[in-house]
Amino acid sequence: MKWMRQCAVRRRQGAGVRFLLMLAACTLLALNGCSRFRPKPVYPSVYVVYKQTFLRDRVAAVSNRTATVTNGQELKVLEKGRRFLKVQTANGEVGWIDEKAVATQEIVDGFRALAAQHQKDSTVATAVVRDEVYLHVKPGRETDRFFLLQENEKLKLLARATLPKALPKGQRPPAPATPAAAGKPAAAGEDQSAAPVMEDWWLVRDAKGDTGWIYSRMIDVDVPDAVGRYAEGQRFVGAYVLTTVYDPDAEQADKNIPIYLTVLSPYKAGLPYDFDQVRVFTWNIKKHRYETAFRDKNIEGFLPVKIEQARDAYAKVPQASMPAPTFTYRVLAADAPTAVPDPVTGAVIPARTVEKTYRLEGNVTRRLLQPGTPAPAEAHPEPPAEKKKPAGRRRR
């Protein structure tokens, strides 16, 4: 009898173990069945950053190409791996791509917001791209990039920013900026090595309307060769057509020769102003060449330059009151502090400026000022040279 009771106990224990195993198996089956009806995660789209790259059928040292994608192309994300994404093109091609080769939706939205913010900004100059280069969402080499510009592509310049050059990892930033870093000459005995190396960036817009920041050394201001050779060691910041004159004997195919207003600056980044010289180039019909008709130098000028056809409100002669090419630019006021670039945005905003308006009458450039009103004092990057008094005539 005792033996029979022990057998019954063992049977009941075995039945309990089998029941638990069956319950666990049913639970696993139920979970697997439910996962089939669970919605797959939806990922935001990504966009190709590289000029051209390939999708591959698997993440491995040896793989097959499934598609070719180019800069700006939108890709639907199907699956995320450790460093790679499984994506699908608009044509249904599927493959894996490196995360470094794409920009997220957040980055692209940042570029779209930048374009919308500056959609109505006026163009301060036009430029040409030297080589293939990316647009950045903010000034700086380490900021996010996306749109790829091609060599010789035309750009519209909107605003300038100047920031310290990014330092290598582990290197400490230098001491606070000295006068030399702000575009001023260093005093005698001043340590110029403490000044940070600055870089200029331009906010630009291309022909498609894409907007972003570009390193200033990757572009050249669009200036005709006939005028560009008169740079005299300076850099053209902008060139604007004031009017045209007709020269029937000119070598050019178009006999309507443009008259240019140009603004120039030294070949130096980090200046607390946009330009330090203004020149007007008129056309000599007899000699068939450009000549300097006006020059204003040693100034601290700021973009933009305004050009219009206007009358002289103070003219006493009827001929002078007729509309003529007129241009206006701003310079730093004499009592204003030197403009300092914003450490975050790099924008250079002067505290107070003086407007200078000139009118082109034939080949003569004349400043428009109310009679009896002295010209406002203005700041100068370099101490102005003293004017030498003409020697008096000797009596015979």
What value does the mean pLDDT of the chain take? 85
pTM, to two decimals:
0.79
Residue 34, helix vs strand vs coil: helix
CA 326 to chain centroid = 29
Question: What type of residue is 242?
Answer: L
Count of CB atoms within 10 A of residue 337's CB? 12
> How confident is the model at residue 393, as a pLDDT?
56
> How confident is the model at residue 21, as a pLDDT?
61
Domains of the chain, earliest start first: 46-103 (2.30.30.40), 105-166+197-222 (2.30.30.40), 223-383 (no CATH)
Report pLDDT digits (tens) over 254-263: 999 999 999 9
Please, are residues 203 and 187 in contact by the beta-carbon 8 Å criterion?
no
> How confident is the model at residue 42, as a pLDDT?
79
Please give the Cα distance from 95 to 387 (Å, whole number).
74
Please give the Cα distance from 71 to 63 (Å, whole number).
22
Q: Which residues of the chain have pLDDT under 50?
A: 3, 35, 176-183, 188-190, 396
Label the pairing between strands 211-215 and 219-221. Answer: unpaired
> How confident is the model at residue 371, as a pLDDT?
85
Q: Which helix (H) or strand (E) holds 286?
A: none
Report pLDDT digits (tens) over 105-160: 999 999 999 999 999 998 999 999 999 999 999 999 999 999 999 999 999 999 99
